[in-house]
Amino acid sequence: MSNIEVRIADWQKDNSDLRRIRERVFIDEQGVSPEQEWDSQDVHAVHFLAEADNFAMGTARLLPDGCIGRVSVLKEWRGLKVGEALMQAAIAEAERR
């Protein structure tokens, strides 16, 4: 496995990966309703994708008020510090802003 890299995602361009991950984690696994998961804040948020070998396995978002949320990692990738990498990237971006 390659190193896991976290990058700022584009809500439009990376939408299928962002949705795929959040749907599996929040809607399928945790039973969150789609109405609760998909809110109007996504358009204004800074989104992050964790990837390895061009496969996205985790995501997070940073809201304009500095709140970090929607941190999610696909089950197969948990325990590999993907969530930690996402949080570090989101915190660094929040501090930068």
Band the pLDDT of 1: cuts 50, 70, 90. very low
pLDDT for position 66: 95
> pTM for the full model?
0.94
Examine the pLDDT at 2 and tell me if it is beyond 90.
Answer: no
pLDDT for position 67: 96
Three-state DSSP state, 60: strand
What is the DSSP secondary-structure string of 15-31?
A: HHHHHHHHIIIIIIIT-
Q: Which tokens belong to 91?
A: 């915190």
30-81 pLDDT, tens digit per residue, is 999 999 999 999 999 999 999 999 999 999 999 999 999 999 999 999 999 9
